[in-house]
Structure 1
Amino acid sequence: MMTQGASVHASAVLVGDRAVLIRGPSGAGKSRLAFDLILAGRAGQLPPAVLVGDDRVHLDTVDGQLWVRPARELAGLIEIRGLGIRRCDVVIEAIVGLVVDLAAGDAARLPPPEALSTRLNGVLLPRIPVGSGYDPLPMIAAALTTTASSGSVQPLDDCSKGIGNHISPNIATD
């Protein structure tokens, strides 16, 4: 049985069999991202996605896994900017599989490996730091539907075309 855990200012959506925990300051877009994930699940762009909680959730660690549950008074409610508080389907608990930090100060185009994980309640989890002004949905979709490249693929420091963002010398050579 799960015990009442720490209440945190965050949203969470169950995508497939793992929850995406969305953190960030007020106004950063946590509710918007939660709803975008639900819509992407409905559209088949991601596995089916269901709200766990919006604005405030409870976290518990059980057997080395981080569980998330909605705050009881907010269960099944989500804020949709311009429409207000709306009801939607909800799951009462899920295992967290990914943490997304909106308006993250350490967001980078090619983040160092240490920025791509975080420890919450003693559990090491994959993390996506998203900078202010960037759409987090494509990054999350990529994280959930692709795998990391092998260590042998490295971006080039300089490119023969002078652009500097090519993965291999074979790309964009005339």
Structure 2
Amino acid sequence: MPEGEAEALWHASCVAVGERGLLIHGPSGAGKSALALKLMALGAQLVADDQVLLRRDGADVVARCPPQIRGLIEARGMGLLRATARDAVRVALVVDLSRQEDHRLPPRHHIAVLGVTLDLVLAVQADHFPYALLQYLRDGRQA
């Protein structure tokens, strides 16, 4: 769908930390649901898993879940798990699991979603990644 459109369906997962949403995208098998589950174990709320409805609302992108999969998240090897789901959240950060971050102190990355520029984080293969994402959502990034 062209970036100027007002709505889109993404193959992604989304969780909320307070009023800030994290959109996790990448190819099938990249670990979107696994990362969402880790963040939920740390207190994040599920918004959507596998499919995320995105809608532009002024200068914001709002994420919500298609009704047929609301409150469900896949856990590989266990099946679909039930989870208390939040209705919608404003997306504050996007994680791209298809690209690896190579820098110890990376430059800021951005992505245009429905014509809105959002902060982007590339995948980090380290145990601290979910914790760092949670902290980023809570208090932002310095540089």
Fold shared by both chains (TM-score > 0.5): yes
Higher RCO, 1 or 2 (CA under 8 Å, sep at least 6)?
2
Q: 1:134 & 1:56 partners in 2: Cα distance?
A: 26
Q: 1:81 & 1:68 partners in 2: Cα distance?
A: 24
2:69 match: 74
Shift in Å, 1:147: 4.8
* Match 1:104 to one of 83, 99, 102: 99
Verify the 8 A CA contact 1:118 1:124 in the aligned structure 2.
Answer: yes
SS in 2 for 1:108: coil
- Structure 2: unaligned runs, 5 residues or longer: 1-5
2:110 match: 117
Verify the 8 A CA contact 2:20 2:137 in the aligned structure 1.
Answer: no
Question: Deviation digits for residues 5-57 of structure 1, max 9, x if unmatched?
Answer: 3111000001111110000111111001111111111xxxxxxx211000001
* Match 2:134 to one of 129, 134, 141: 141
- Alignment of 1:20 with 2:13, yes or no, is no
1:56 match: 51
| Residue type of the alignment partner of 2:7 | G
| Residue type of the alignment partner of 1:118 | I
- Structure 1: unaligned runs, 5 residues or longer: 42-48, 151-174
Verify the 8 A CA contact 1:7 1:71 in the aligned structure 2.
Answer: no
Q: 2:83 & 2:134 partners in 1: Cα distance?
A: 22
Q: Which has the higher strand share?
A: 2
SS in 2 for 1:14: strand
Question: Deviation digits for residues 94-119 of structure 1, max 9, x if unmatched?
Answer: 110111111315x2223233xx2211
Verify the 8 A CA contact 2:7 2:114 in the aligned structure 1.
Answer: no
2:3 match: none
Verify the 8 A CA contact 1:76 1:90 in the aligned structure 2.
Answer: yes
| Residue type of the alignment partner of 1:89 | T
**Alignment length (residue pairs):** 136
- Decide which structure has the larger Cα Rg and report it: 1
Name the Cα RMSD after superposition: 1.9
SS in 2 for 1:31: helix
1:38 match: 40
Dislocated runs of 4+, deviation >6 Å = none
